[in-house]
Amino acid sequence: MTTYYTKDHEWIAVAGETGTVGITDYAQSQLGDITYVDLPAAGTTIGKGDAPCVVDSVKAASDVYAPVSGTVTESNAALADAPELVNSAPETDGWLFRLTLSDPAELAGLMDKAAYDAFVAGL
């Protein structure tokens, strides 16, 4: 599995043609305590840069942008009862949704962990 990052602080872990999407630890730390997550339904077709998900926190409601295009196959049902998983485990159990990639070539425009860490360090 390979993980990629966006400048909007989303991550996507890719295994074959399936990607699991979430927000980074940096993003959750900027948002504060997550109170609700509006997740996309399975079967939803999304384009790269679309905002299929909204994360509500004590500070603000923030769109989550799709790092690549695809069709949603699953949302993280655990977040309905425990949205705080996005805070406590943003890059593991706090994932948001999974999708089947429609254009794997879009991954080429994303950052690897080292590039993302350097990007965040410059903020």
pLDDT in tens, 10-20: 999 999 999 99
Does the residue 122 lie in any domain? no
CB atoms within 10 A of CB 120: 15
Query: Where residue 39 sits, what CATH number does that domain have?
Result: 2.40.50.100
> pLDDT tens digits for 30-69?
999 999 999 999 999 999 999 999 999 998 999 999 999 9
Domain housing 92: 2-116
Q: What is the DSSP letter of 105?
A: G
Does the residue 121 lie in any domain? no
How is residue 43 written in tokens? 């079967």
